Amino acid sequence: MMKKIVVLLMMLPWLGMAQTFKLKMPDIEKLHKAMQDNSSEDEVYLYLATTYKPAGEKQQVKHYDFDATLICAFEQDFMPNIHYKINNCSEEGAIMKEVIFPTTNKTMVMHWIEQINKCSLTETENSWNTDKTVYSPKDDGAGCYYTIKQTATTIIVEISCGC
């Protein structure tokens, strides 16, 4: 009996590693269709909404001053432990988004960013900086800028899109 307990205890770290978060890659065709059907939502939110189960309703909802029926900012959680935030309330026109994923493989996140960027409405060509933490327009002009930040328990993707 004691031998079985020792073997089980030795296997626990291995079992824990098997439960690490696996980021699902965007299905570009499916995402383009969802964007056509829901033109008021951005590609990152539609990816999350069609790929992961919402863990609750939109929170911290803000509306435009000029039209109280239109949402310009909100936050929402998705399973498992994914947090999404968007703010498009600025008069300067930049859209700020943030996605917090559970810790996962950085290379997979880089590939995810490249795929999401293909679905964005911008037609600019992006490239990675030398330490592979920023994916931005090659000409440093208008377009979407993606920044990867890592903590002990999360990987954060900050996205800024504008003219």
- Tell if the pTM clears 0.85, that is, is over it: no
Cβ proximity of 117 and 134 under 8 Å:
no
pLDDT at residue 41 tops 90: no
Q: What's the CA gap between 141 and 119, in Å, rounded?
A: 19
Phi and psi of 63, rounded to 5°? Answer: -115, 155
Around Cβ 151, how many Cβ atoms within 10 Å? 9
Q: Which two tokens stand for residue 80?
A: 């498992």
pLDDT digits (tens, 9 = 90+) for 49-104: 999 999 999 999 999 988 899 999 999 999 999 999 999 998 777 899 999 999 99
Mean of per-residue pLDDT scores for the chain: 86
Q: Which two tokens stand for residue 100?
A: 């917090």
CA 147 centroid distance within chain? 11
Q: Which two tokens stand for residue 144?
A: 């979407």
Phi and psi of 2, rounded to 5°? Answer: -65, -35
Q: What's the CA gap between 96 and 82, in Å, rounded?
A: 17
Residue 37: partners with Cβ closer than 8 Å, 6 or more residues away = none
